[in-house]
Amino acid sequence: MSAILGAAVLALAGQAAAQLTGRGFPDCDDGPLKNNTVCDLTADPLDRATALIKAFTLEEKLNNTGSTSPGVPRLGLPAYTWWQEALHGVASSPGVNFSDSGDFSYATSFPEPIILGATFDDELVRAVATVVSTEARAFNNFDRAGLDFWTPNINPYKDPRWGRGQETPGEDPYHLASYVHALIDGLQGGYDPKYKRVVATCKHFVAYDMESWNGNFRYQWDAHINSQDLVEYYMPPFQSCARDSNVGAFMCSYNALNGVPTCADPWLLGDVLREHWGWTNEQQWVTSDCDAVQNVFLPHGYNDTREAAAAQSLIAGTDINCGTYYQEFLPAAYAQGLFDISVLDQALIRQYSSLVRLGYFDGMAVPYRSLTFADVNTPASQLLAHQAAAEGVVLLKNDGLLPMTITSNMTVALIGDWANATTQMQGNYAGIAPYLHGPYYAVNQTGATVMVVGVPGGQGDPTTDHWRPAWAAAEAADVIFYIGGIDDTVESEGMDRNNLDYTGAQLDVIGQLAMYGKPMVVMQMGDQLDNTPIIENANISALLWGGYPGQDGGSALFDIVQGKVAPAGRLPVTQYPSDYITQIPMTDMSLRPNATSGSPGRTYQWYTGDAVFEFGFGMHYTNFTASIASGSPTSYGSSAPSTTTYNISEMTAGCSEKYMDKCPFETFSVDVKNTGSVASDYVALGFLAGCHGPAPYPIKRLSGYQRLHNISAGSTQTAALNLTLGNVARVDDYGNTVLYPGDYALMIDTQPLAMVNFTLVGAPLVLDKWPQTPTPRFQATDYFVGGYGSTYGQELMVNGTLFSDLA
């Protein structure tokens, strides 16, 4: 009997969970709410939500604070799951319910954001996001998903070790801000639509950046970041989300920032997010990362009691608690008087006004309600998934072997962990793909004889026992493709890397394969590795980086190999030499090099060493030249850009932007000519450099980009790089964004094809005054100097002495 009882407890737990995930729409026609203002389609969304929450009892309010809301059965308000994922397609997650077969058994699986980032094609990103939100709505209409999706992960990917870097578009803050602006447009269906397609969630706010490194864990780590680095590097994507893209939700992160867990930080979630960025219309909410509120209590130990941790988080502005800590401890916290009921009401109003904006209460009045599974994985979406992969693949080495023709009378060896890749191509936060066309599939379409050897010493146990088939394949082949690198067994959520070299015995296998002296190509998959041995091996003709290319990744790669698509992707991150990670601890959040700590700096903007391949690098099958034409005439410009001097004092004249940094500076027209013989896309990357603003100066910084498509041989297309004042400005020690006098150079491409110099004169102009913390916090000026056993060097920064560096 006791055994049965024991099992019964377990079964009960499962049952409770199942009940809570029930969904469906509230019945505004005949349900108990029909006379509540929430069901009045003509009322203001905020008023509608306020009326709904007013009908809740205290217990009902307290019950609906978690990611799995039971709803209010008494009112006919259904249970609702706030947690859906859709990083690169509708994804497996608590609120998404794929069917076992038939309709809704799959969704389009696009490449991981790291590949989408490599396309440097914001219009493509917008199109991809629109497909994702369309498919999400179709799932929702058939009760297979909610309407809130906890995507994108938009933390800048500054350290190659980070296990979740693949989820991001790369390392550059301007790039991420631009990318996410397009993405949210696609996901939400515009920047202020009557009905949002879905609600996107920018995460992880802020400075998440680490899973598990040398005893530092995401759940308890305290990121020490000075104001300059914070505003210059860590904040831009989030500012883009909240201020400029009107994203519907934010997620606070596991880590603390300068001593305060982000989910319990009223300065971060209030002063910065809601006040400074104007994210105040109450139709947006903040969720904690999953159990980040529990983490406020343990392991952060920020509050002495569980009740205080819950109350503090709610008051700070964490409206939803992913997990159950609010539901468990807010009742006692309320009884102890730790928060006012108005704070809880506000959190609930934010949640439900957001649902109002999704049309949750509006029945078939919502245009997206007619979407069905016929709108999922359409032929157009399939083509888009292929295009996204093909645009993102980066050609890193080519001695002329590529493009090559693979004919049916050839024998092709595909060797490596990724040779017959399937779900590897999806990376993490994936859904169920309609198909997974890996390299083996792709080469099979050519009619060639294909020899696939899957496991020659990559991930896992690199025992030589499995290598012999590789030699047999190499012996028989006309051309050898090594397709390996790393995958989610080495880098993933919860798992940072501690090695930038090829894992296992891959380099020995590759080296032996190269000794056959046959045409040989390496496809390096997953995130960046140090490819120096591939570059230096003269027997290897070409190197492609393929990342996590999604459902059609193999086809995309071999379309490039065969020249059906010309490569034009660019590295969205720096490819560091493998010893980089011995030079800087993962916990060091500063960007600038530091002679005391030995840090060589982070990202292409500051790294003082020699990158294996720099940010933005990517080869083509053709050659390009570029020239910068005159900028658009403006009231404050004078003559051609190449000789322009700008007076800072005149630059905001006539600008009606609410935020000065959004005022236009100049549009630079870049004529790009394809001087080779192959039609090709080209990404015009505009980097700013020069001596202006606070020293030290970054090596360069991306300030504009545009992908030009299909420039035919001999022809020219023009890119327009629209620089705002904010793109030109820099950030001072206090986090203020300032337009500085000085010399500037705008360079096109990594090895510049064109450059224009200009000068700003006049007094520095503060474009954005950064909100300081109400009480001084520790500001790290020197991190991890002594390695083990040493302590942080810190100094107190007292507020109120702002702008002193502008004298």
Decide if 688 contacts 746 (C-beta within 8 A). Answer: yes
341 contacts its own copies (rule: CB under 8 A) = no
CB 575 within 8 A of CB 533: no
Shortest Cβ 207–its own copies spacing (Å)? 20
Distance (Å, whole) CA 12 – CA 491: 36
> Rule CB under 8 A: is residue 469 a binding residue for its own copies?
yes
- By the rule CB under 8 A, 1 interacts with its own copies: yes
Q: Which of 777, 782, 797 is nearest to 271 (CA)?
A: 777
Q: Exactly one of 289, 496, 588, 749 is catalytic; which is it?
A: 289
Question: Between 108 and 420, whose beta carbon lies closer to its own copies?
Answer: 420
Tokens of 323: 């997990």
Distance CA 64, CA 691 (A): 54
Q: Which is nearer to its own copies, 215 or 696 (CB)?
A: 215
How far apart are the C-alpha atoms of 729 and 738, rounded to whole Å? 5
By beta-carbon proximity to its own copies, the closer residue of 104 and 580 is 580
Q: Assess 19 for contact with its own copies (CB under 8 A).
A: no
What 3 state SS string does 144-190 have? CCCCEECCCECCCCCCCCCCCHHHCCCCCHHHHHHHHHHHHHHHHCC
C-beta closer to its own copies: residue 323 or 550: 323
Instruction: Using the minimum distance from each CB to its own copies, give the nearer residue, 15 or 372.
Output: 15
Q: Which is nearer to its own copies, 93 or 246 (CB)?
A: 93
- Region of 675 on the Ramachandran plot (φ > 0 left; ψ -120 to 50 alpha; else beta): alpha
Residues contacting residue 57 through CB under 8 Å, at least 6 positions apart: none
Residue list 278-337, contact with its own copies (CB under 8 A): 290-291, 294, 297-299, 306, 322-325, 328
User: With contacts defined by CB under 8 A, how many residues of the chain interact with its own copies?
Assistant: 74
Convert residues 651-670 into a mask of x (bound to its own copies by CB under 8 A) and - (unbound). Answer: --------------------
Residue 558 binds its own copies (CB under 8 A): no
Query: For its own copies, which is the closer residue by CB, 142 or 217?
Result: 217
Residue 505 interacting with its own copies (CB under 8 A): yes
Q: Which helix (H) or strand (E) holds 237?
A: helix 236-239
Report whether 682 contacts 674 (CB < 8 A): yes
Asked if 585 touches its own copies (CB under 8 A), the answer is: yes
Of 83 and 682, the one with the shorter C-beta distance to its own copies is 83
Q: Segment near its own copies (CB under 8 A), from 238-246, 258-266, 351-359, 497-505?
A: 497-505
* Residue number, 20 or 544, with CB nearest to its own copies: 20
The token pair that represents 363 in the structure block: 């029945």
Alpha-carbon 588 to chain mean position: 21
Q: How far apart are CA 267 and CA 272, in angstroms?
A: 6
The binder of its own copies chosen from 372, 463, 675, 677 (CB under 8 A): 463
| CA-to-CA separations, 157 to 165, 167, 355, 392, 632, in angstroms, rounded | 5, 9, 32, 17, 34
Nearer to its own copies, 283 or 575 (CB): 575
Residue 588 known to be catalytic: no
The interface mask with its own copies, positions 398-437, x = CB under 8 A, is: ----------------x-----------------------
If the CB atoms of residues 166 and 444 are measured against its own copies, the closer one turns out to be 444
Task: Please tell me whether residue 97 binds its own copies under the rule CB under 8 A.
Answer: no
Shortest Å, Cβ 193 to its own copies: 33
Q: Does residue 59 touch its own copies according to CB under 8 A?
A: no
Cis peptide before 694 (omega within 30 of 0): no
Using CB under 8 A as the binding rule, whether residue 721 contacts its own copies is answered as no
Please give the backbone phi and psi of residue 354, each rounded to the nearest 5 degrees, phi first.
Answer: -65, -40
Using the rule CB under 8 A, give the single segment among 183-191, 496-504, 649-657, 700-708 that binds its own copies: 496-504
Please state the closest distance from residue 504 (CB atom) to its own copies, in A.
8
Q: Which of 102, 337, 517, 789 binds its own copies (CB under 8 A)?
A: 789
How long a stretch of residues is the chain? 807
Tell me if 2 contacts its own copies by CB under 8 A. Answer: yes
Residue 788 Cβ, how far from its own copies at the closest point, in Å?
5
**Looking at 175-183, 444-452, 636-644, 658-666, which segment touches its own copies (CB under 8 A)?**
444-452
* Rounded distance between C-alpha atoms, residue 420 and residue 481, angstroms: 12
Site for its own copies in 200-219 (CB under 8 A): 212-215, 217, 219
Report which residue type is found at 418: W
Kindly state whether residue 467 participates in binding its own copies, applying the rule CB under 8 A. Answer: yes
Measured from the Cβ of residue 417, the count of other Cβ atoms closer than 10 Å reads 26
Q: Is 297 helix (H, G, I), strand (E, B) or coil?
A: helix
Q: Is 465 in the site for its own copies (CB under 8 A)?
A: yes
- Which residue of 32, 598, 609, 762 would you call a contact of its own copies, by CB under 8 A? 598
Distance CA 356, CA 281 (A): 13
* Dihedral (Cα; 422, 428, 429, 431), 10-degree rounding: 0
Measure CA of the first residue to CA of the last residue in the chain; give whole Å. Answer: 81
Q: Shortest gap between Cβ of 53 and its own copies (angstroms)?
A: 24
Q: Which two tokens stand for residue 44?
A: 């203001």
In angstroms, give the least distance from the CB of 307 to its own copies: 12
Taking contact as CB under 8 A, which single stretch among the options 279-287, 426-434, 445-453, 729-737 is the one that binds its own copies? 445-453
Angle 122-141/379-392 helices, nearest 10 degrees? 140
Q: Which is nearer to its own copies, 290 or 678 (CB)?
A: 290
Give the 3-state secondary structure of residue 211: coil
Q: Which residues pair with residue 481 across a beta bridge?
A: 414, 521
CB of 682 to its own copies, least distance (A): 35
List C-alpha distances in Å: 376 to 239, 293, 371, 554.
Answer: 32, 36, 9, 22
Q: What's the helix, strand, coil split of the chain in %, to 5?
A: 30, 20, 50
**Burial readout 100-139 (b: 16 or more C-beta within 10 A, e: otherwise):** eeeebebbbbbbbbbbbbbbbbbebbbbbbbbbbbbbbbb
**Is position 592 an interface residue for its own copies (rule: CB under 8 A)?**
no
Q: Which of 75, 128, 252, 453 binds its own copies (CB under 8 A)?
A: 453
When the beta carbons of 376 and 451 are compared against its own copies, the nearer one is 451
Is position 5 an interface residue for its own copies (rule: CB under 8 A)? yes
Q: Return the residues of window 64-83 that contact its own copies according to CB under 8 A.
A: 68
The one segment of 84-92, 106-114, 430-438, 451-459 that binds its own copies by CB under 8 A: 451-459
Out of 73, 654, 776, 786, the only residue in the binding site for its own copies (CB under 8 A) is 786
Binding window for its own copies (CB under 8 A); candidates: 467-475, 542-550, 607-615, 630-638: 467-475
User: How many Cβ atoms sit within 10 Å of the Cβ of residue 628?
Assistant: 23
Q: CA angle 185-23-431, nearest 5°?
A: 55
Please identify which residue in 499, 630, 642, 667 interacts with its own copies, judged by CB under 8 A.
Answer: 499
Restricted to residues 230-289, the positions that interact with its own copies (CB under 8 A) are none
Distance of closest approach, residue 7 Cβ to its own copies, in angstroms: 8
CA–CA gap between residue 466 and residue 455 (Å, rounded): 7
Binding mask 140-159 for its own copies (x = CB under 8 A): --------------------
**Residues in 166-195 at the binding interface with its own copies, rule: CB under 8 A:** none
Strands 754-761 and 793-796: unpaired
Window 470-489: residues binding its own copies (CB under 8 A): 472-473
Cα–Cα dist 55/49, whole Å: 10
Q: How far is the CB of 424 from its own copies (least distance, A)?
A: 17
Site for its own copies in 509-548 (CB under 8 A): 511-512
Active site residues: 289
